[in-house]
Amino acid sequence: MKNDLLQIEIDLLLLKYGEAAVIKALSSAVVTTEDELNKKIRTLKEKKLKAPKSPRQQKQPLDIAKEVITGSSNEHQLIKLATLYQNKQFLPQLKDVKRFLGRFNINKNIKSRNEATRVVFESLTKCSSDELTTFSTNSNTNSQSSFAKLAEHIMGDGNNKSSNK
């Protein structure tokens, strides 16, 4: 409210006396030169004219995963899994991700699959090549949820439950 009234009064002063007279009076009131005051005004105008920042783009899971897995001995398999993860063919739901991380004793408060990407792929870099192959091949079949297949593999029960497919 106060700023609105000030702006109205400034506008009235500018209309009544003109920009040069107002700047001259203001410079003597704040004990500065007119040039310094004009420079401050230009700076304020430039700040006001700058385009507002666009909302921050959220990184895609594939990009996040690539940051984590670069240089890994199983990089090719991990990139394949990252693509499947991004397309929601590997750990398609947040609950699947949380259960998967629970197998690695990681119980962070994760609110989204995208937020979990870094942790998931840090965990996957610790897996063997055979495990990664199993994860990627099992992600392509739709007979069971991804987590069920992963749980079977991690727990070593893959042969016992294969009749349930």
Residue-level pLDDT at 16: 92
Q: Which residue has the higher pLDDT, 156 or 10?
A: 10
Q: Is the pLDDT of residue 165 over 60?
A: no
Tokens matching residue 115: 């937020």
pTM above 0.75, yes or no: no
Separation of alpha carbons 163 and 165, rounded Å: 6
- Quickly tell me which residue has 């700023």 as its tokens: 3
Separation of alpha carbons 115 and 22, rounded Å: 54
Q: Per-residue pLDDT tens for 49-87?
A: 776 666 667 788 888 888 888 888 888 888 999 899 989
Q: Which amino acid, one-letter code, is at 9?
A: E
Tokens matching residue 11: 């506008």
Q: Per-residue pLDDT tens for 140-158?
A: 554 455 556 566 667 665 4
Contact 74, 113 (CB under 8 A): no
Contact 65, 84 (CB under 8 A): no
Domain limits, the chain: 2-49, 61-164
